[in-house]
Amino acid sequence: QRPLWLDCDTGHDDAFAILLAARHPDLKLLGISTVHGNASLENTTINTLSILKAVGREDVPVYPGAAKPFCRSTVYAPDIHGSSGLDGTTCLPSPSATPVTEPKAIHAMYDALMRYPGSAWLVATGALTNVALLFAIYPELVTHIQGLSIMGGAIGSGFTDAPMGHVRGEGLRFGNHTSYAEFNIYCDPEAAKSIFSNSTLAAKTTLITLDLSHQVLASVEVQQLLVGDQRALVTGQLSNVRHLFYQILVFFAHTYRDVFGLTKGPPLHDPLAVAILLDGLSEVIQFNDNGGERWHVNVVTDGLHSDLEAEQGQVGRTMLTQAEEGGVRIPRALDRFRFWQILDECLERAEKA
Ligand code: BDR
Ligand code: CA
């Protein structure tokens, strides 16, 4: 089993990342830290505990991390995830477990990852504040982890043939929160910059950008695959956990349709950052050129979040240059059929728990 720590801001797609991390037999989920992002830290923490209860893994400890970015105000995403961060469900269980506040998240992450030198992964599916703090406080950790997997960033310019250009408003380009910026990077761009500018860490980093996640749309067919027999919805035979994940997808599909006009289904960003840990990466994610392609990532930090109003801000944009050595790995394609199948199998395991 591959040990991993998950750092997330539990909204709809983070819930699937938790499902995969908690219920795949090849993965050993050591703990979860929560961060501001889709909603307040308080909400993302409760959402995380509720999802762990739903998948029968309340044994996984949950540590609340940073409530705010380094040097900006918080940005939430109520139009995508609702005000709770996980709106639209009727069967989300109330957690019995409580968040662990001692030791603090950063120290718990360090201790857990150091217990598996050379083999542990850190997966981040929210704003990067906790991750940046972790490597600032414990720089030596970089040499002990096997990898860092991040969902964040947007490249555009034909990097993949993902159907980009569905972003909100007129004249917008390839980001999802602004013309240029993907939400997780936008929330705390200084934190993101500190990670990508650490060359040792960057060389161990895999980045799942919107260019990839927009190839993985949870279409109506996918929603029905995950829900199994459609009739079970009305006969009430659907298990609680499957019903919950179905409702999560349906809500997410509605907000993506309303906000972005994306009618083919919502991109399921976050579980991809977990999926790349699965054995034989090529089974799920195909890297260009045998994984040899590497990039330097520069994050635009000039400008205020309020520049958005003026439609001129590029803060949170991820700019790429090809790296001769070192550099971040950015998958361009994946086997999405296998990916949905893997999620379905995880739901099956959660049902049996
Ligand atoms: C990212 O933003 C969040 O709203 C999602 O959970 C995902 O992590 C996609 O841009
Ligand atoms: Ca997220």
Give pLDDT, residue 165.
47
Give pLDDT, residue 173.
67
Mean pLDDT of the 275-297 span: 77
Cα 255 from Cα 223, distance rounded (Å): 15
Ligand 1 site, residue 11, Cβ cutoff 6 A: yes
Q: Candidates 13, 18, 178, 262: which one to mutate for ligand 1, based on the most atoms within 8 Å of Cβ?
A: 13
Pick the more confident residue, 319 or 235: 319
User: Residue 198 C-alpha to ligand 2 middle, in angstroms?
Assistant: 23
36, 67 Cβ separation under 8 angstroms: yes
Give pLDDT, residue 282.
59
Q: Residue 160 pLDDT > 90, yes or no?
A: no
Q: Which residues contact 213 (CB under 8 A, 6 or more apart)?
A: 151, 162, 267, 268, 269, 272
Give pLDDT, residue 24.
97
Q: Residue 225 pLDDT > 80, yes or no?
A: yes
Q: How confident is the model at residue 312 (pLDDT cuts 50, 70, 90)?
A: low
Predicted TM-score (pTM) of this structure = 0.96
The DSSP-derived string for 38-105 is SS-HHHHHHHHHHHHHHTT-TTS-EEE--SS-SSS-----HHHH-TTSS-S-S-PPPPSS----SS-H
Ligand 1 site, residue 294, Cβ cutoff 6 A: no
Q: Residue 166 pLDDT > 50, yes or no?
A: no
Q: Residue 170 pLDDT > 60, yes or no?
A: no
Nearest Cα to Cα of residue 167 among 37, 333, 332, 308? 308
What number does the ligand 1 atom closest to the CA of 210 have? 10
Q: Residue 131 pLDDT > 90, yes or no?
A: yes
Residue nearest to atom 2 of ligand 1 (CA): 183
Report the alpha-carbon angle 129-139-278, nearest 5.
Answer: 70
Q: To the nearest whole percent, how much of the chain has pLDDT over 90?
A: 73
Task: Look up tokens 């997997």; give the residue.
Answer: 149
Mean pLDDT of the 260-265 span: 88
Cα 241 from Cα 293, distance rounded (Å): 39
Cα 116 from Cα 351, distance rounded (Å): 30
